């Protein structure tokens, strides 16, 4: 099964498809009295590097969210549903819908496109929760979006000495847990700490490096999808080598690669900050 086969159109026909989809979204917003405004967020709003696999992320400002939740027939206005997710619907856990101020529908259509619908009320908009990413206004019936401001929250932030020390301390402290699990032959214990802590702190340090070594304000993107363009091939390979894990031997190899990459990037960050490098813990 090739989920994305339908997206493999030529550039011209795909652009036509995108333009038509935007018009469908705008028409839906215009025709529905419950909708007050519509704007585009995500990669299509703030990034020129969109391609045939980029989703449509749209925010509808509505009078209330209950209408779109109660009658979901509108979803097929934009195509035939292959699979859908409602992350705000917690009924499957025995609770109630969290549908008063915000509700999401994440929809993958059989035609190949995906649309992430986010319905928010005016009160939710005014709380400031939607002001943290680039956006393009598609429709604004009452001028609600005039005061909306955006900033790219994927952009790396310049670290302080305190940030640097905290990152180093967390990485090296938890690295001992990995070693303990390795010698006990506890693969999952090792992988939990590698994936949830060591890798997280490594990527944080890499972001620090990119921020300090780049003249402009870099944006490495969600899940670091644009990180590659800010690093040399050698630097990028240091990170890729940390993913070789699947058994105890692979775990240990991954662990050593993580430590090597962290040492390199933490040394570079310390140099750029003009501070002493954090000492690597040793039993010697």
pLDDT for the residue numbered 193: 95
Does one domain contain both 128 and 199? no
Tokens at residue 128, please? 């400031």
Q: Which residues, given as ranges, of the chain have pLDDT below 70?
A: 1-11, 46-49, 90-99, 126-133, 147-156, 215-218, 223, 283-284
For residues 170 and 201, is the Cβ–Cβ distance under 8 A?
Answer: yes
CATH number at residue 40: 3.30.460.10
121 occurs within a structural domain: yes
- 3-state helix, strand and coil shares in percent for the chain, rounded to the nearest 5: 50, 15, 35
Question: How many domains, in total, are found in the chain?
Answer: 2
pLDDT for the residue numbered 135: 82
For residues 9 and 53, is the Cβ–Cβ distance under 8 A?
Answer: no
Identify the bridge partners of residue 104 per DSSP, sorted by sequence position. Answer: 118
Does one domain contain both 30 and 106? yes
Tokens at residue 155, please? 């952009």
Does one domain contain both 123 and 15? yes
- Per-residue pLDDT tens over the stretch 217-265: 667 777 677 788 888 899 988 888 888 777 899 999 999 999 999 999 9
Does one domain contain both 167 and 118? no
156 occurs within a structural domain: no
Does one domain contain both 250 and 130? no
For residues 41 and 59, is the Cβ–Cβ distance under 8 A?
Answer: yes
Q: How many Å apart are CA 142 and CA 125, to the nearest integer? A: 14
- Per-residue pLDDT tens over the stretch 137-169: 899 998 888 766 655 545 667 899 999 999 999
The one-character DSSP state at 246 is S
Full residue range of the structural domain in which residue 112 is found: 5-140
Does one domain contain both 119 and 166? no
Does one domain contain both 9 and 133? yes
Does one domain contain both 110 and 183? no
Does one domain contain both 109 and 18? yes
Final residue of a structural domain among 106, 140, 174: 140
CATH number at residue 260: 1.20.120.330
Q: How many Å apart are CA 117 and CA 96, to the nearest integer? A: 20
Q: How many Cβ atoms from other residues are within 10 Å of residue 126's Cβ? A: 12
205 occurs within a structural domain: yes
284 occurs within a structural domain: no
Q: How many Cβ atoms from other residues are within 10 Å of residue 25's Cβ? A: 21
pLDDT for the residue numbered 128: 55
């Amino acid at each position: 099964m090739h989920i994305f086969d339908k997206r493999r159109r030529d550039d011209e026909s795909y652009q036509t498809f995108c333009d038509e989809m935007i018009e469908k979204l705008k028409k839906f917003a215009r025709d529905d009295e419950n909708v007050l405004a519509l704007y585009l967020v995500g990669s299509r709003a703030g990034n020129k590097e969109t391609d045939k696999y980029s989703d449509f992320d749209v925010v509808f400002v509505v009078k209330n969210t209950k209408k779109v939740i109660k009658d979901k027939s509108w979803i097929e206005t934009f195509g035939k549903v292959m699979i859908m997710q409602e992350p705000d619907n917690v009924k499957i856990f025995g609770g109630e819908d969290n549908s008063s101020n915000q509700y999401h529908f994440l929809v993958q259509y059989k035609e190949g496109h995906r649309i992430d619908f986010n319905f928010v009320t005016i009160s939710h908009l005014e709380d400031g929760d939607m002001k943290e990413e680039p956006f393009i206004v598609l429709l604004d019936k009452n001028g609600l979006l005039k005061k909306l401001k955006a900033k790219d929250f994927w952009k790396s932030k310049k670290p302080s000495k305190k940030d640097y020390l905290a990152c180093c301390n967390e990485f090296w402290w938890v690295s001992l847990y990995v070693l303990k699990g390795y010698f006990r032959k506890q693969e999952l214990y090792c992988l939990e700490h590698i994936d949830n802590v060591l890798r997280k702190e490594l990527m944080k340090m890499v972001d620090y490096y990119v921020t300090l070594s780049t003249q402009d304000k870099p944006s490495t993107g969600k899940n670091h999808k644009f990180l590659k363009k800010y690093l040399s091939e050698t630097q990028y390979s240091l990170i890729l080598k940390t993913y070789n894990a699947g058994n105890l031997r692979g775990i240990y190899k991954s662990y050593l690669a993580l430590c090597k990459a962290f040492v390199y990037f933490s040394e570079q960050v310390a140099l750029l900050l003009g501070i002493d490098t954090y000492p690597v813990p040793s039993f010697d």
